[in-house]
Each structure stands twice: as structure tokens, then as C-alpha cells.
Amino acid sequence: MRFRTETRISLRHLSSRPFQTVAAAAVLALSSALAVILFLLTQGLRDGLIRAAEPFDLIVGAKGSPYQLVLNTVMLMDVPIGNIKWSGYAALSGDVRADFSVPLAFGDSYRGYPVVGVGDGILRIRRGASERKWLEIAEGRWFGDEFEAVLGARAAAESKLRIGDSFRTSHGVVLEDEHEALFKVVGIAARVFGPYDRAIFVNIGSIWKNHAHGDNNHSDGEDNEVTAVLVRPASYPDAYSLAVSFQSDAEKQLVFPAQTASRLFSLVSGGERFMSVIVYSVAVCSIFTTLLVLYWSNRDRRREKALLGALGASRGALAAISWLEGTFTLAIGALAGEALGRTGAYAAFRFLGGSTAIDISVPMTFKEATVPAVMFMAGSLGAFVMALAEKTGDAASLKRM
Amino acid sequence: MTAQLPPFLEVRQLRHCYSQPDGSRVEALSLDHMSAVGGEAIALVGPSGSGKTTFLHILAALIRPTHGEVLFGGRDIFAPRQAGAHWRAMSVGYIFQDMNLLPDFSAIENLLLAAEISNVSGPAATERANSLLRRLDLWNQRGRRPADLSLGEQQRAAVARAVIHFPSVILADEPTASLDAENAGIVMNILTELCAESRTLLIVATHDEAIKKRFARVLQLQRPRAAENPEPVLPEKAV
């Protein structure tokens, strides 16, 4: 019998029993979809963290937890560790090892959107090693005066603030504790695909003035403080030289945000590894379940296979038919699992996107397809062994016909 | 130029025993000798348990006998060991009591599939299938699945399937048992006609006296004695 004939028989057997076929494929599809979702979520979270940290080469902040500094400065989460003196920023901006540095001041918000006081240097930040600017204006202009604000793309979309609108900021995240000064929206930033899409950028001087409480001297001069300083080193050796010099600093710390974010992810992924064990266990169980369904399905077809044997089909041909039926079913399950997993991941990211600071999106690498692919191959191997062990075409079956 | 020799089937010292669940063995068939030539039609008769189906299964190489030889054209159909399926595919047409068409395939697909298994495919197979379906009055039913055919139609389709690859031997196990007298007559007429045309050896196991009377030669099998007593009953009886 030709392989084409065996394939035709297998496909006809499957299409003639759609419920059995779908049930067997669904078992594999659901478990592989679960594994795909977990894989994509993990990958998306990792990519999101790396993407968020990418524009920032070095961060200098108050001594304390480096994770908290990164969470606060890069992810705009958690509370600042503390402030550092303006002189700290001034020293960095004059350091030849720094190409440029940008002071940041956090602490205020508007309806949950963090207000970030920045220096103009923030517009010089590039995306990683590329020449593309990290922060660009989509509408309006960059702020010129104090109490002018530029909205992050998501902050603009969600807060419904438009260019020309005015708003008051709150101290911390307490809505009632509003500052008196009014900010005016003068521009909307293009998407940066990170936490800063939720930010409202203002001149750092406005933050100082807002907190001055009538003390004009607080608004400028050496007494001012910044929460963190973003530093673009002049070169890689300069970055490490700066890091070494901050090791002995009692008040400040310097972190490599990408490295810290990666360590942070490793801490988080301990739970992910535990979940992986569960998901992969479910996947292995589902392969066995699918093979069991296929086994019973093959038993149901013993008469037909015995008949094919009586017509002259060899044991090899009958085994091939059984194996092809299993393989086709597993292929349907694996493909459906990949599609279902991706759809599920899109849905999960859409749901999570509204509640997380990190911009996570479904990676387009298709590495996760290795999960259903491995499940398919393992199942197909199992189906092959089962097909070889199957007793078909025996006269006993024919006698019962 | 020499004339082609007709197919020649010969059975020698054939015994077959089945194992019981308790370990004992029961002799199911005992036949010392039988020979037949191409174009012959033989009725295989005998009481229940005399081994009619077992004999047909052995002739089709579906089971290997416990003892003895089955020769076709002087060659053992069981040698080499894997030859059974090839023998069935190329030289045997088998008709079951309960039709046993493949339920997921239409009447014509059942025929073409049997042809493909026997390495007959392409336009020649389609032409042969169409011709048989017309001859057996199944042309209008060719696209229907077995469940949509009457019992008579199903058995006619089974006959067509058995002969599509021009086998040397047709083995029919009670082919008319589930048919009424009219349909049984139609099926037997077609079967004997087709075998006579192609000089195919036809062996039909039957209980039906009316069917038996159609055959010039009857092979009578008798129930073998218990395996503990190995003396076989000599059953062949030509009429």
C-alpha cells in the first residue's frame, strides 16, 4: 500500500469521528496552550523589564536597595528611597566621565499618574545603542517655563487631558493633598513603550517650587534635592570607573539598571520556575491522556484494520495508518495549542497592560512554539510505539465480523 | 510458445489447533489433501465447528496452520514468513458473511481502496471499478456509504471489491447468509460468472442447500476429534 493511501485512510478515519478526534486534540491543545501562555508571559515580562531599563545607562540615587531605586526610577513604582543633594547632581554633570546627566524628582502625582520633574537633558537620551531618541514630542511642544507639563502617551490617552488644559498635582498619591499651583499641558510625548508612558513630565524647578511652601529660597540653589540622576557615561570604561568611585560613597549609590532589572527578574522567576514544573507536568500528563484516547480510538477501529489486513494491507501499512492517525491528531492539538496559547497570552497582556507599569507585549520570536512542538514529537513517538505494538489484522477480529 | 498453466492450489496434511484459556488445545481443522485448478468452483460444507472459516482463513494466509502446507503454483503461500499479506493482496479476493465494507468509504472508494492495496491504481482501476459497478447494478449507489446501501447492494459491492484486482482465488464465507433468496441468487450468479470469465478458483463456504446445488464440486468438512486424540477424520469428499 502506498503512503498516500495510508494517509487518505487515516484522514478519513479522523474526519468520520470528529468528536473523538477533537476530544483527543483538545486535551493536548489545552495543556500546550497553558505552557505557551506561561512561556509568553515570562518572556514578555522579561522583555518589558529590559525594554524599560534600556534607555537608562546608569542611575545614581540615595543609598539603599538598588531594586527599590530601579523600581522607582525605571518602573515608576514603589516609593523613592530618599533624595540626594543638588551638589551630587552638579558633581556628576561636571564629571568628564559622564557624557551628560539628567536630574529626576519624584513624589507628586495627578490622579495616579506620576509627575516626574526632569531637566532638559532627558531629551538627549537615546534608545540603547541606537541613534533614535527615547523621548519625542508627538503633539505640541516640550515645556519651556515652569508649571508647564508634557504628558506621557498613556497618561494623555487615559487622563483625557488635552493641550491647553490645566491641572493640579497631589503630594504623593493622596488625591486630597493637592498643591496650589496649576500646571498647563503644552505637549504630549510619543509612546516610549515603557512605564514613562504613564508619566507627566514637568520642569524640575516646578517640583521644587511646589514644595517650597512660600520659601522662595527652596526653589533654587544648593539646598534643592533630586530623587535620582540618570547618567550617560562617556564610554564603557567610564561607566565602570564611575561605579567604582560610588562604591565608597556613604550617601549615594550607582546602579546599572539593566543588570539590576535582570537580577530582579531572576528573583521573580523563582515562582515562574515552580509554575513551569507544574505546567510541564500537566503537559506530560496530557500527552499520556491523548495517547490513551488514541489507544481506545484505535481499539474501536480494530475491525476496520482487520478488514484492511484481510484485503492485503501489511502489518507495516496498518501500523502506519494508526501512527498517522495519532500524528495528525497530535498535530491538530499542537497547532491549536499554539494558536490558543498566543490568543490567551494576547488576552492576558491586554488585561495586565492596564494594571502594570511595565509595557509587556507578546514576543514575536515564536520560541514558545518549541513547547507544543516537543509535545507533538513526544506524542508522535508514543503513537509510533503504540502502532507497532497494536494487534491488527488478526483472524480473531475477522471471525467476530 | 507454451500455454500458461492455470493457478493450482494444493493443500497437504493440514491441521489447525486453537489454544483454550485453560491451556488445552482444540483441533479446529483437519484436512489431509485437497487440490483445485483455476476456474473451478467448490462448495465448502460441513457442520458448525468443522473448520470451514478456519480453512478459508488459512487459504487466505490470515492464520498460519499448526501443521501442513498450502501450495499455490507449487509454492508455499506462507514462505517467506511475511508473504501472507502479499498473497492476499495480489492473489486472493475474500468475501465475508457480513459484507464488511469499510464504513467510512463510499461503495466506489471501497473498490478503489482494495485495488490500491493490490497495486492496481490510476485510470485502469477506476475503469475496472466503474465497469463492475455498472455490471452489478450499483452505478447509482457508487457514492453512497455502506450504511446507506441495502444488504443486497452491500454484498454486491463486496463481490465487486473481491474481484477488482483479478485475483486467482476467491474465498467466500457464507456470502449469502444474510440475504433473502432473490438477492442470494443474484449474488451467486454474479460471483460464478465473474470467476468463470477470469478462470478464478472459487471456494464458497455455505450451509445453504440451494447454494450447494449450484456447485459441481463439494468439499465436505467434518468436526475433528478432540486434540488429545490426534487421529484426524478424513473429510474431503468430491461430488
Query: ipTM for the complex?
Result: 0.81
Q: Write down the pLDDT at residue A172.
A: 66
Each residue of A2-21: pLDDT tens digit?
788 889 999 998 898 888 88
Average pLDDT over residues B135-145: 90
Residues on chain A touching B105 (C-beta within 8 angstroms): 12
Contact A309 B60 (CB under 8 A): no
pLDDT at B105: 93
Per-residue pLDDT tens digits for A247-271: 888 888 999 988 888 887 777 766 6
- CA-CA distance, B217 to B66, in Å (whole number)? 27
What's the rounded Cα separation, in Å, for the pair A380 and A384?
Answer: 6
The residue among A220 and A148 whose pLDDT is bigger is A148
Does the pLDDT of residue B204 top 90, yes or no? yes
Residue B51 pLDDT > 50, yes or no? yes
All structural domains of chain B with their residue ranges: 39-61+82-217
Under an 8 A CB cutoff, do B116 and A5 touch? yes
Out of 3.20.20.370, 3.40.50.300, 1.20.120.1200, 3.40.50.2300, select the CATH number for domain B39-61+82-217: 3.40.50.300
From A95, A133, A121, select the one nearest A245 (Cα to Cα). A95
Chain A positions in Cβ-Cβ contact with residue B113 (cut-off 8 Å): 5, 9, 311
Task: Considering only CA atoms, give the Rg of chain A.
Answer: 31
Output the pLDDT for position A374: 86
Partner A contacted by B66 (CB < 8 A): no
Q: What is the pLDDT of residue A353?
A: 65
> A354 falls in which pLDDT band (50, 70, 90)?
low
> What's the confidence (pLDDT) of residue B133?
92
Q: Which of A16, A315, A395 sits opposite B63 (nearest CB)?
A: A395
* pLDDT tens sequence across A56-87: 889 999 998 888 888 888 888 877 778 888 88
Alpha-carbon gap, residue A356 to B21, rounded angstroms? 68
- Residues A104 and A227: beta-carbon distance below 8 Å: yes
Best mutation target among B18, B52, B62 (most A Cβ atoms within 10 Å) is B62
- A-chain CB neighbours of B98 within 8 Å are 401
Residue B117 touches partner A, C-beta closer than 8 Å: yes
pLDDT at B239 over 50: no
Q: Are strands B217-220 and B41-45 parallel, antiparallel or unpaired?
A: parallel
Q: Tell me, what's the pLDDT at A391?
A: 64
User: Is B103 part of the contact surface with chain A (CB cutoff 8 Å)?
Assistant: yes
Nearest to A307 among B60, B92, B100 (CB): B100
pLDDT category of residue B222 using cuts at 50, 70 and 90:
confident
Chain B residues with CB inside 8 Å of A314's CB?
Answer: 82, 85-86
The answer to whether B163 touches B125, Cβ cutoff 8 Å, is no
Partners of A12 on chain B (C-beta within 8 Å) are: 104-105
Cell (9 digits) for A314? 501489511
- For residue range A293-313, what is the model confidence (pLDDT) as tens digits? 888 888 888 888 888 888 888
pLDDT at A149: 92
- In the numeric block, which cell numbers belong to residue B83? 508473504
B10 inside 8 A of chain A by CB: no
Which one has a higher pLDDT value, A266 or A135?
A135
Looking at residue B233, its pLDDT comes to 40
Q: Summarize pLDDT for A105-118 with one digit per residue, the tens.
A: 988 888 888 999 98
Q: Which residues of B touch A394 (CB under 8 A)?
A: 62
Q: What is the pLDDT, as a whole number, of residue A355?
A: 59
